[in-house]
């Protein structure tokens, strides 16, 4: 007896057509256990009376077998409605009478599992993603970004081979005073409000992004490809649009509105030093904490606004409390990258308000009070989330500093002439450690260094684990012990200061940096044994054309270099490699010009630094200076004929210069040096494909498939080749596999949309995929044109014209 209807998905989260696209590969694996087929596709009926649904029987209880076409059509039902059709092509159906009623039930069980999987990743109240899903997506994207953010890691970022992963944005958002909603209107009204907020955020979040509800009224937004500026703009948009929404209360006929506060952080721009060495899942949590910190600052500054992590130190500080001896407690701490010695201007937001004044003739004039700078302070002691500062000077003794005043980071005036305190100008030492504070240390070092022909500075980052090992011991006791260890190796009489809460600095006149390597290694060993792992950076004068005042900054660069060392003591003497590391970081942040200057300095220090020379070539190529880039890559190859990075980059530059023969030669030399160099194989395959030497291209792509990580990079190219040869089913299969490896592969999504349109299948699916491709790579005009085709095929002419306009504007 045949069932009257196919089981409907009842458990988990309701499925939509977009979910079927996401789980298409899963459905393929399930159905392949019951029947054999070559390829597959999805079809979405446009209406309930679609001809494709006629053969499914009562309640869509039967699959349809088309022997002449070797197709099996399986209905995919959810909540009693036909959601889509799975089409198995080249199918062999051994027992039609048994399988045709069975396959819809198999489909229902598969969809139920997909629904449960979606439910685990979806917040039940708002329909947004869960916090776990948000963090998992961030960790996956960090892995991809890390392949591209440094010039040395991905060679010349070649958009013809793989979509660039330049970074992403993260927004944390919290509703202001949301607890009052439940207190005044009840918990059901509060839940209805959160559901409405979730719908708003789902609509506002870019298609390639992800909106999530972490808990209660805390939301997160993952924005792939977003720069720091776009991330801040998105945060502002979320805050602004929420404030325009009105929430009705049917029980009382009332309505109310809400505001929100948001914090924005960007990867990799807002990560520092050793944070890059952490596993991707740990980095995701570090970035989320930074976004939440920016959110907390936005709330502290008055709510209903967004704050970027990168702006906290510059403009996010607040005076918390006034203390005796002209000192203050402020809201900036180590986590906001505050350091002892930093100077801030203090201003009062209370005095910034519009003023109306009546003139003697009765006319009223209005204006806004200018910012009132009340004084200047410098940080003394910096904790995790707050710091203590001393007052350097007051603008008006009758206008005291008070809680609620804001801090503005003072511009660097150079360490040679720091501002003096208003009362006492004599240098002071910390009573526990005997260290000068940063301001006094820099002042004394500046006075002495002008008399020296040679001097060095040592910057030590002390262990963080000391307090965890000995929770009952004061932190200052650990600091005092660390200082004693350092002085034992660098000299008891050396000028020393507290550079920040966890860093101490030594000024050593007459010492060469290399002469300090051995005592620094011994110091690190002693610190590790007594307190935990530490790191040391050393820099000296003279070095290249750096001035005496540059040594402190070079010391910081050396410390950043030390923190990235994978093995051995974390010790670096400022040199050509330190400059290369600094340049790589600037390149990762998008500052190509500053990165070039660092690479040039690195080459002045060591012209044999092929990493710096290759990176300089990449920067030049990024700026379109192809001949200059070719010169740099050629010089690298002249020193190291088997340098695969330079050979590959040279090939890419020659190709952009339309020198196909030279490009092919460079790629082939790269393969002789490394037969597994997947990017050279892909590039040679693409060049053969463009010359319509399809079999040669296929050979290169097949070789690329056999390399490590080859399938993830190669499947899209095999699909494009099959598409060009008219083998559409083969192309579809390759694209399915490519999207399984990387669901955000814009090029595969674009080609899949083309495939659906070329085959005359449901243009709604083509539209969904084309939209994702265009959202991921809005700089690609062909992606917008494909979206326009999909829209026009559905009669959405106005939207199609808008997409074409976007294509023309790229």
Close Cβ partners of 733 (under 8 Å, ≥ 6 residues apart)? 38, 39
Enumerate residues 6+ apart whose C-beta is below 8 A from 621: 156, 629, 649, 652, 653, 656
Catalogue the long-range contacts made by 557-560 (C-beta closer than 8 Å, 24 or more residues apart).
557/581, 557/582, 558/459, 559/273, 559/459, 559/461, 559/503, 559/535, 560/273, 560/585
The residues near 775 (Cβ < 8 Å, ≥ 6 apart) are 206, 207, 208
Record the tokens describing residue 536, joined without a space. 């040391």
For 411, the token pair is 């511009």
* Mean of per-residue pLDDT scores for the chain: 85
CATH architecture of 129-313: 2-Layer Sandwich (3.30)
- Helix/strand/coil percent split, the chain, to 5: 50, 20, 30
Token pair 């950043």: residue: 560
Alpha-carbon span 482 to 478, nearest angstrom: 6
How many whole angstroms separate alpha carbon 430 and alpha carbon 764? 70
The CATH code of domain 17-120 reads 3.30.70
**Over the stretch 531-590, which tens digit does the pLDDT of each residue have?**
888 999 999 999 999 999 999 999 999 999 998 888 889 999 999 999 999 998 888 777
| pLDDT at 442 (0 to 100) | 85
Nearest to 785 by CA among 753, 737, 745: 753
Distance CA 738, CA 569 (A): 42
Put the strands of the sheet holding 571-573 in their side by side order.
Answer: 436-437, 495-500, 503-509, 455-461, 535-541, 571-573
Contact status, residue 714 vs residue 682, Cβ threshold 8 Å:
yes
| Tens-place pLDDT, residues 68-81 | 888 999 999 887 78
Q: Which of 491-495, 665-669, 753-757 has the highest mean pLDDT?
A: 665-669
Kindly give, in sequence order, each residue whose CB lies less than 8 Å from that of residue 603, ignoring residues fewer than 6 positions away: 576, 609, 612, 613, 616
- Stated as kind and residue range, the H or E segment containing 193 is helix 187-204
Structural domain boundaries in the chain: 17-120, 129-313, 436-574
What distance in Å separates the CA atoms of residue 446 and residue 458, rounded to the nearest whole number?
15
| Packing angle of the helix pair 694-705, 678-690 (nearest 10 deg) | 160
Q: Would you say 577 and 602 are in contact if contact means Cβ atoms under 8 Å apart?
A: yes
**What is the per-residue pLDDT across 48-103, written as a single tens digit (0 to 9) for each?**
556 666 778 888 889 999 888 889 999 998 877 888 889 888 888 878 788 899 99
CA distance 430 to 467: 20
Q: What is the pLDDT averaged over residues 739-749?
A: 83
Model confidence at 711, in pLDDT bands (50, 70, 90)?
confident
For residue 533, give both structure tokens.
């792992």
Task: Reply yes or no on whether the pLDDT at 471 is more than 50.
Answer: no
The rounded distance, in Å, linking the Cα atoms of 668 and 646 is: 13
Residue 573 tokens, joined? 């003497």
Give tens-digit pLDDT for 151-200. 444 444 344 444 445 689 999 999 999 999 989 988 989 999 999 999 99
Could you give the CA distance from residue 239 to residue 175 in angstroms, rounded to a whole number? 9
Q: What is the pLDDT of residue 401?
A: 93
The C-alpha atoms of residue 485 and residue 492 are separated, in whole angstroms, by: 10
Phi and psi torsions of 532, nearest 5°: 135, 180
**C-beta neighbour count of 476 within 10 angstroms:** 13
- Residue 348 scores a pLDDT above 50: yes
The fraction of the chain above a pLDDT of 90, given in percent, is 49
- CB 714, CB 705: distance < 8 Å: yes
| Check whether domain 436-574 has CATH 3.20.20.70, yes or no | no
- Beta-bridge partners for 393: 376
Backbone angles phi, psi at 416, to 5 degrees: -80, -25
Q: Name the H helices within 534-677.
A: 551-563, 576-588, 592-605, 610-622, 626-639, 644-656, 660-673
For residue 425, the model assigns a pLDDT of 56
**Among 790, 740, 796, 733, which residue's Cα sits nearest to residue 765?**
790
What's the chain's length in residues?
Answer: 810
Where is average pLDDT lowest: 231-245, 294-308, 381-395?
Answer: 381-395
pLDDT at 155: 45
Cα distances from 106 to residues 34, 75, 165, 495, in angstroms, run 9, 10, 39, 77
Nearest residue to 463 via CA among 517, 513, 525: 525
Q: What is the pLDDT of residue 421?
A: 44
Distance separating alpha carbons of residues 144 and 164, to the nearest angstrom: 9
Give the C-alpha distances (Å, rounded to integers) separating 626 from 155, 609, 620.
15, 21, 7
């Amino acid at each position: 007896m045949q069932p009257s209807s196919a089981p409907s998905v009842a458990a988990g989260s309701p499925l939509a057509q977009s979910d079927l696209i996401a789980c298409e590969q899963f459905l393929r694996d399930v159905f392949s256990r019951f029947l054999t087929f070559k390829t597959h596709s999805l079809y979405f009926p446009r209406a309930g009376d679609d001809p494709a649904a006629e053969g499914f029987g009562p309640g869509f209880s039967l699959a349809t077998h088309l022997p002449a076409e070797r197709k099996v059509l399986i209905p995919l039902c959810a909540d009693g409605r036909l959601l889509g059709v799975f089409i198995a092509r080249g199918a062999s159906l051994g027992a039609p009478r048994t399988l045709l009623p069975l396959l819809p039930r198999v489909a229902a069980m598969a969809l139920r599992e997909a629904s449960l999987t979606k439910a685990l990743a979806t917040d039940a109240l708002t329909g947004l993603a869960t916090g776990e899903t948000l963090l998992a997506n961030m960790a996956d994207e960090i892995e991809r970004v890390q392949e591209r953010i440094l010039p040395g890691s991905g060679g010349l970022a070649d958009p013809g081979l793989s979509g660039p992963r330049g970074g992403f944005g993260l927004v944390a958002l919290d509703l202001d005073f949301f607890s009052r909603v439940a207190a005044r209107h009840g918990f059901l009204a509060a839940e209805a409000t959160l559901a409405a907020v979730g719908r708003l955020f789902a609509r506002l979040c870019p298609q390639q992004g992800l909106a999530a509800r972490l808990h209660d009224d805390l939301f997160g937004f993952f924005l792939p490809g977003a720069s720091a500026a776009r991330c801040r703009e998105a945060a502002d948009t979320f805050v602004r649009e929420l404030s325009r929404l009105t929430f009705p209360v049917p029980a009382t006929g009332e309505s109310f509105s809400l505001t929100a506060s948001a914090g924005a952080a960007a990867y990799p721009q807002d990560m520092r030093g050793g944070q890059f060495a952490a596993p991707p899942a740990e980095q995701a949590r570090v970035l989320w904490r930074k976004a939440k910190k920016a959110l907390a600052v936005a709330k502290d500054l008055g709510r209903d606004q967004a704050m970027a992590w990168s702006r906290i130190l510059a403009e996010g500080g607040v005076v918390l409390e006034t203390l005796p001896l002209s000192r203050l407690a402020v809201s900036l701490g180590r986590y906001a990258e505050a350091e002892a010695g930093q100077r801030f201007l203090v201003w009062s937001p209370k005095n910034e308000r519009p003023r109306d004044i009546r003139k003697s003739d009765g006319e009223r004039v209005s204006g806004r009070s200018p910012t009132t700078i009340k004084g200047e302070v410098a940080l003394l002691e910096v904790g995790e989330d707050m710091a203590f500062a001393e007052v350097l000077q007051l603008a008006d003794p009758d206008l005291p500093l008070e809680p609620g005043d804001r801090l503005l980071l003072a511009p660097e005036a150079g360490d040679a002439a720091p501002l003096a305190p208003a009362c006492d100008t004599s240098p002071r030492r910390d009573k526990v450690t005997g260290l000068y504070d940063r301001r006094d240390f820099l002042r004394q070092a500046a006075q002495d260094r002008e008399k020296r022909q040679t001097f060095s500075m040592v910057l030590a980052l002390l262990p963080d684990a000391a307090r965890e090992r000995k929770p009952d011991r004061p932190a200052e006791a650990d600091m005092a012990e660390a200082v004693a260890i350092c002085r034992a190796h660098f000299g008891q009489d050396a000028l020393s200061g507290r550079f920040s809460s966890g860093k101490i600095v030594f000024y050593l006149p007459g010492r060469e940096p290399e002469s300090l390597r051995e005592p620094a290694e011994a110091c690190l060993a002693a610190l590790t044994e007594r307190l935990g792992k530490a790191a040391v950076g050393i820099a000296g004068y003279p070095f290249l054309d750096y001035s005496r005042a540059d040594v402190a900054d070079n010391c910081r660069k050396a410390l950043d270099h030390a923190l990235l060392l994978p093995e051995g003591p974390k010790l670096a003497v400022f040199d050509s490699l330190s400059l290369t590391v600094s340049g790589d970081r600037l390149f990762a942040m998008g500052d190509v010009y500053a990165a070039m200057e660092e690479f040039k300095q690195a080459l002045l220090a060591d012209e044999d630094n092929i990493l710096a020379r290759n990176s300089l070539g990449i920067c030049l190529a990024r700026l379109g200076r192809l001949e200059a880039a070719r010169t740099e890559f050629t010089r690298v190859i002249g020193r190291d004929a088997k340098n695969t990075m330079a050979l590959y980059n040279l090939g890419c530059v020659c190709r952009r210069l339309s020198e196909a023969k030279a490009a092919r030669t460079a790629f082939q030399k790269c393969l002789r040096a490394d037969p597994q160099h997947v990017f050279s194989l892909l590039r040679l395959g693409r060049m053969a494909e463009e010359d319509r030497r399809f079999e040669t291209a296929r050979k290169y792509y097949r070789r690329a498939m056999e390399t490590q990580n080859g399938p993830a990079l190669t499947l899209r190219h095999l699909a494009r080749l099959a598409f060009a040869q008219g083998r559409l089913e083969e192309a579809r299969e390759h694209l399915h596999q490519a999207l399984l490896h990387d669901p955000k592969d814009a090029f595969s999504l674009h080609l899949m949309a083309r495939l659906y349109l070329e085959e005359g299948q449901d243009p709604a699916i083509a539209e969904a995929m084309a939209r994702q491709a265009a959202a991921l790579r809005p700089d690609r005009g062909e992606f917008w044109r494909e979206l326009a085709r999909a829209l026009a095929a559905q009669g959405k002419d106005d939207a199609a014209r808008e997409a074409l306009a976007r294509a023309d504007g790229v």
